[in-house]
Amino acid sequence: MEHQLTYSTSFEENKKAHEPLLWIGLVSIIMFFAGLTSAVIVSSTSATWQLFSLPSSFLNSSIAIVLSSVTYQAGYVFLKKQQQSIAILLFAITLTLSLLFVYFQYAGLSNLYQQGIFATGSQSTTSSSYFYILTVLHIAHLFFGLISLLYVSIKTMLNKYNNNNYLGVKISLTYWHFLGILWVYLYVFLSVMMSK
Amino acid sequence: MDLTHSSHTHKESFITKYIFSTDHKMIAKQFMITGFTMGFIGIIMSVLFRLQLGWPGEKFLINELLLGSWANGGVIAPDKYLALVTMHGTIMVFFMLTAGLSGTFSNLLIPLQIGARDMASGFMNMLSYWIFFVSCIVMLVSLGVEGGAASAGWTIYPPLSALPEAIPGSGLGMTLWLISMALFITSSLIGSLNYIVTIINLRTKGMTFSRLPLTIWSFLVTAILGVLSFPVLLSAVLLLVFDRSFGTSFYLSDIFIGGQALERFGGSPILFEHLFWFLGHPEVYIVLLPSLGITSEIVSTMSRKPIFGYKFMVGSILAIGGLSFIVWGHHMFVTGMNPFLGAVFTITTLLIAIPSAIKVFNYLTTLWRGNIIFSPAMLFSIGLISTFITGGLTGLILGDATLDINVHDTYFVVGHFHIVMGLSAVFGTFAGVYHWFPKMFGKMMNNTWGQVHFWITIVTAYGVFFPMHFLGLAGVPRRYYTNSSFPMFDDFINLNEIISIFAILAFLGQLIFLFNFLYSIYKGKKASQNPWNSNTLEWTTPVEHIHGNWPNDIPEVHRWPYDYNKPGYEEFIPQNVPLKKGETDSGAH
Ligand code: HEM
Ligand SMILES: [Cu+2]
């Protein structure tokens, strides 16, 4: 069957809903981590809750992710000024910093592992299990951020962004800042709850 | 307004039209068919285990026929009884009354009533349905695995859910339950995101928040509750999966199996209860609120009167939604909770009585001296008002820590939540189906059979659940296979028989609905465009469904949706009719 439609509110206009979609999605991610960190608080009241010292690697990673937020934002600013090449450079730095972040997270966890602080198994404790799980879950969310960063970088290289068409970048950027804030929160929270 | 007039021809294949459709009206039907099918399976389960409760140990051919090895010789095996109860609860609460109900009516009505071409993201909407569909399949498959389906109750408390070796249903059945629910949560989150964004961003010109039909308000708050609470259930499920499969001990401590201490310590099953009920209580409102919205709309239309206290109705939906996040402890009064904390949860719980009572009074005031048309939809709406009152009253008892401790985990609780949540939500669903059937299928359902369906349902439903309160007061525990080893409950065997007879009759009554539904799709009377003389925008769309909903421009809205019998004006005035000279929008004050 065929229909002729004149759109006074076109389907295309649904695009304006993309940014709110992200924000509400972020709310549900926040609730997810709120559930988990509340669980940490409840579990920490147990008599068997164990403290350990956090490897300095996690401080390095925190610095890396905060810096990456700054460089991504700067790249966005230059992109809007139509200075593609500087933007691409900044996106590349962002990418490097985020890979550095992942590396430091990995180094930190393996350091814990070498100290005999395990994620699972009979020698693990609830505090160490939480620590591993929260760290890895954050990286899992970062993974999608990385994909969107790559996507934005490639589109920039192909010169696909012109005026008024930055929605995709803005969404990716907002998510990226969110990831940074989320990690800083987790880092501070876990330090307070778990470190000696 | 920015008018982007672009013509656009649309061709659809069978697959894009009926299967991977992105059209909200088709997705609504898909949710309805799937959700109701699950509901039908759930109700059959309840009838089967009611046979066991009414006539413990008696052989029934039907058990063997439908359950096979779960009921060798026609008697349900004790562990399979638990599996049935668990699956019944899970299916009813999540699959039928969350996905089935919200999925159907939010999808159907949000774009139509706010004046939008479709959902914000048709693709996400389709994704939401298909993930739901897969989660249904996984849940049904779990019925057939070795050891049987999950048996730890719909609340899946650890350690039964955390240790695969705990009971037969704790093995693969439980694993599939968790996979299915993870999918379900994903589907529900995607759906809710879409509903919220659509309502906020895609309202037509003039459709201010104070002109939104109450249905839309209730769908909005329902979706918000989902976005805030389902992720917390996901976090609980995740930790549970780690405990089950990867050797952590978030929920485990001091467990002995065959006298042997398990090498798990430091965790607590109470933690799971906190996380579960942080979702669980909002969940009961996720189930209930859409029905409150649907019936508000119907009560006003069928009384031919404006809804009484529109702003209070909206306010109380918001208040109920907000309060529902700070009352979860009322499910945990007997977990050894600090009595002070218990008192706090008692107070927050009893506070919900205020917005609930406001809603009841507004319903009744709307009915008062109205020109009531007793259509099946209206009857079920009035039925909801009744169950909302009778179930709400026992909620006051359960919400009070000192009283709840006496009846916790008895049939009193089963009676309470079936009436206030189960029946209210089911009545709202039926009301919605009867009312919007013409919109969905372009046909009318048979009125007489609708009336018969209603009267059988309300009588048998009370017949099932009202006596349960007495069982509970006498101490009869819930989730028990049989009480025959407790002589003090011998007096109640007759009552249990009566309940079971009512349950069978209730089930048979639903066949009338099923028949009427299917028959009307094919042979029903053709519907006119606005069969109930209603004001909301969905009745301005053509009877035959078209992609994009309105053949021409989307109507503009000039007034609130409840202009029925406005003094000095027409009997009803649809929302898209401009205000006359000197007329004020009745909703504006
Ligand atoms: C003909 C209709 C129904 C009958 C006869 C029925 C009967 C029952 C019975 C006897 C139980 C077992 C109680 C126990 O042993 O603890 C039960 C449990 C339950 N029912 Fe229904 N029910 C019906 C419809 C519904 C509906 C519409 C809902 C939706 C809210 C629902 C939700 C539940 C839940 C959540 C449980 C608890 C499962 C558990 O203990 O884990 N039921 N039902
Ligand atoms: Cu509750």
Element (H, E) at B261: strand B260-261
Instruction: Determine the average pLDDT of the residues in B568-574.
Output: 94
CB of B48 closer than 8 Å to CB of B63: yes
Q: Which of B38, B44, B51, B85 to mutate to test the pocket of ligand 1 (most atoms within 8 A of CB)?
A: B85
CB contact under 8 A, B117 and A11: yes
Instruction: Determine the average pLDDT of the residues in B495-517.
Output: 97
User: What pLDDT was estimated at residue B385?
Assistant: 97
Instruction: Determine the average pLDDT of the residues in B276-299.
Output: 96
Q: Among the residues of B96-213, which ranges form H helices?
A: 101-114, 122-141, 172-201
Confidence bin at B3 (pLDDT 50/70/90): very low
User: What pLDDT was estimated at residue B490?
Assistant: 87
Count the Cβ atoms, other than its own, within 10 Å of residue B396.
14
Residue B38, amino acid: M
Q: Pick A120's closest partner by Cβ from B6, B247, B548.
A: B247
What letter does residue B564 receive in the DSSP assignment? B
Q: Whose CA is nearest to atom 4 of ligand 1?
A: B46
- Closest by CA to B207, choosing from B316, B121, B303, B111, is B111
Count the Cβ atoms, other than its own, within 10 Å of residue B538.
21
Q: Which two tokens stand for residue B44?
A: 């059959």
Which CATH number covers residue A82?
1.20.120.80
Q: Which two tokens stand for residue B341?
A: 């904390």
Give the Cα separation of B488 and B484 in Å (integer).
Answer: 9
**Cβ-proximal residues to B53 (8 Å cutoff; 6+ apart), any chain:** B482, B496, B499, B500
User: What pLDDT was estimated at residue B4?
Assistant: 38
Average model confidence (pLDDT) across chain B: 94
Our count of domains for chain A comes to 1
Domain of A139?
A: 2-194
pLDDT digits (tens, 9 = 90+) for B41-93: 999 999 999 999 999 999 999 999 999 889 988 999 999 999 999 999 999 99
Cβ contacts of B117 on chain A, cutoff 8 Å: 7, 9-11, 14
Cβ contacts of B246 on chain A, cutoff 8 Å: 119-120
Instruction: Determine the average pLDDT of the residues in B249-267.
Output: 86
Give the Cα separation of A75 and A81 in Å (integer).
Answer: 10
Query: Domain-by-domain residue ranges, chain B?
Result: 24-252+278-540
Radius of gyration of chain A from Cα atoms?
21
Q: Which two tokens stand for residue B453?
A: 């369906």
User: What pLDDT was estimated at residue B265?
Assistant: 80
Confidence check: pLDDT of B176 > 60 = yes
Q: Does B551 touch chain A (CB under 8 A)?
A: yes
pLDDT digits (tens, 9 = 90+) for B397-455: 999 999 999 999 999 999 999 999 999 999 999 999 999 999 999 999 999 999 999 99
Confidence bin at B258 (pLDDT 50/70/90): confident
pLDDT digits (tens, 9 = 90+) for B107-116: 999 999 999 9
DSSP secondary structure letters along A105-129: HHHHHHHHHHTT--SSSTT--HHHH
Give the Cα separation of B427 and A42 in Å (integer).
Answer: 39
pLDDT digits (tens, 9 = 90+) for A7-51: 444 555 566 778 899 999 999 999 999 999 999 999 998 888 989
Give the Cα separation of B88 and B38 in Å (integer).
Answer: 10
Cβ contacts of A5 on chain B, cutoff 8 Å: 7-8, 10, 546-548, 551
Q: Which two tokens stand for residue A65?
A: 């992710």
Average model confidence (pLDDT) across chain A: 90
CB contact under 8 A, B117 and A7: yes
User: What pLDDT was estimated at residue B15?
Assistant: 80
Q: Does B548 touch chain A (CB under 8 A)?
A: yes
CB of B427 closer than 8 Å to CB of B499: no
Instruction: Determine the average pLDDT of the residues in A124-130.
Output: 92
Give the Cα separation of B354 and B342 in Å (integer).
Answer: 20
Confidence check: pLDDT of B6 > 50 = no
Cβ contacts of B265 on chain A, cutoff 8 Å: 48
Length of chain B: 589
User: What pLDDT was estimated at residue A46?
Assistant: 87
User: What pLDDT was estimated at residue A3?
Assistant: 40
Q: How far is the CA of B282 from the centre of ligand 2 (A)?
A: 7
Any idea which ligand is nearest the CA of B387? 1
CB contact under 8 A, B229 and A24: no
Give the Cα separation of A118 and A110 in Å (integer).
Answer: 10
Residue B48, amino acid: L
Radius of gyration of chain B from Cα atoms?
24
Give the Cα separation of B482 and B489 in Å (integer).
Answer: 10
User: What pLDDT was estimated at residue B137?
Assistant: 98
Cβ contacts of A13 on chain B, cutoff 8 Å: 2, 4, 202
Classify residue B25 as exposed, middle or buried by CB count within 10 Å of its CB (0-12, 13-18, 19+).
Answer: buried
Confidence bin at B1 (pLDDT 50/70/90): very low
Confidence bin at B256 (pLDDT 50/70/90): confident
Confidence bin at B10 (pLDDT 50/70/90): low
Beta bridge partners of B572: B564
pLDDT digits (tens, 9 = 90+) for B148-161: 999 999 999 999 99
What's the CATH code, domain B24-252+278-540? 1.20.210.10
Residue of A nearest to B263 (CA): A122
Q: Pick A48's closest partner by Cβ from B4, B196, B266.
A: B266
User: What pLDDT was estimated at residue B526?
Assistant: 95
Residue B153, amino acid: G
Global pTM reads 0.93
Q: Which two tokens stand for residue B277?
A: 């009920």
Q: Among the residues of B333-418, which ranges form H helices?
A: 339-351, 353-367, 376-399, 401-407, 411-417
Count the Cβ atoms, other than its own, within 10 Å of residue B442.
17
**Phi and psi for B521 in degrees, rounded to 5?**
-60, -40
Ligand 1 atom index nearest CA of B507: 1
Residues at CB less than 6 angstroms from ligand 1: B 43, 46, 50, 85-86, 88-89, 92-93, 97, 153-154, 414, 418, 421-422, 426, 464, 478-479, 503, 506-507
Q: Percent of chain B beyond pLDDT 90? A: 87
Q: Pick B9's closest partner by Cβ from A2, A11, A29.
A: A2
Q: Does B117 touch chain A (CB under 8 A)?
A: yes
Q: Does A123 touch chain B (CB under 8 A)?
A: no
Q: How far is the CA of B138 from the centre of ligand 1 (A)?
A: 21
User: What pLDDT was estimated at residue A12?
Assistant: 52
DSSP secondary structure letters along B397-464: HHHSHHHHHHHTTBHHHHHHHIIIIIIHHHHHHHHHHHHHHHHHHSBPPPHHHHHHHHHHHHHHHHHH
Per residue, what are the HEC states of B184-220?
A: HHHHHHHHHHHHHHHHHHCCCCCCCHHHCCHHHHHHH
Q: Pick A7's closest partner by Cβ from B4, B194, B197.
A: B4
Residues of A numbered 21-50 whose beta carbons fall under 8 angstroms of chain B's beta carbons: which are they? 21, 24-25, 27-29, 31-36, 38-39, 42-43, 46, 48-49
User: What pLDDT was estimated at residue B11?
Assistant: 60
- Closest by CA to B302, choosing from B377, B211, B387, B212, is B377
**How far does the CA of residue B549 sit from the closest CA of chain A (Å)?**
9
Confidence bin at B589 (pLDDT 50/70/90): low
Confidence check: pLDDT of A170 > 70 = yes
User: What pLDDT was estimated at residue A90?
Assistant: 97
Q: Pick A133's closest partner by Cβ from B227, B242, B552.
A: B242
Interface mutation target, options B250, B275, B557, chain A, most CBs of A under 10 Å: B250
Q: How far is the CA of B328 from the centre of ligand 2 (A)?
A: 5
User: What pLDDT was estimated at residue B463?
Assistant: 98
Give the Cα separation of B125 and B195 in Å (integer).
Answer: 9
Long-range (24+ apart) CB contacts under 8 A made by B220-223 are B220/B195, B220/B196, B221/B289, B221/B317, B221/B318, B221/B320, B221/B321, B222/B102, B222/B106, B222/B192, B222/B195, B222/B285, B222/B286, B222/B289, B222/B290, B223/B102, B223/B106, B223/B191, B223/B192, B223/B193, B223/B195, B223/B196, B223/B199
CB contact under 8 A, A8 and B263: no
CB contact under 8 A, B117 and A9: yes
Give the Cα separation of B298 and B294 in Å (integer).
Answer: 6
Which of residues B31 and B589 earns the better pLDDT score? B31
CB contact under 8 A, A29 and B231: yes
Give the Cα separation of B499 and B511 in Å (integer).
Answer: 19
Q: How far is the CA of B151 from the centre of ligand 1 (A)?
A: 14
**Phi and psi for B77 in degrees, rounded to 5?**
-70, 145
Q: Which two tokens stand for residue B117?
A: 């071409």
**How far does the CA of residue A140 sit from the closest CA of chain B (Å)?**
14
Instruction: Determine the average pLDDT of the residues in B11-31.
Output: 87
Q: Whose CA is nearest to atom 41 of ligand 1?
A: B153
Instruction: Determine the average pLDDT of the residues in A138-147.
Output: 97
Q: How far is CA A71 from CA A77, A92, A176, A177, B219, in A?
A: 10, 9, 11, 11, 41
CB contact under 8 A, A5 and B189: no
Give the Cα separation of B151 and B171 in Å (integer).
Answer: 10
User: What pLDDT was estimated at residue B95?
Assistant: 97
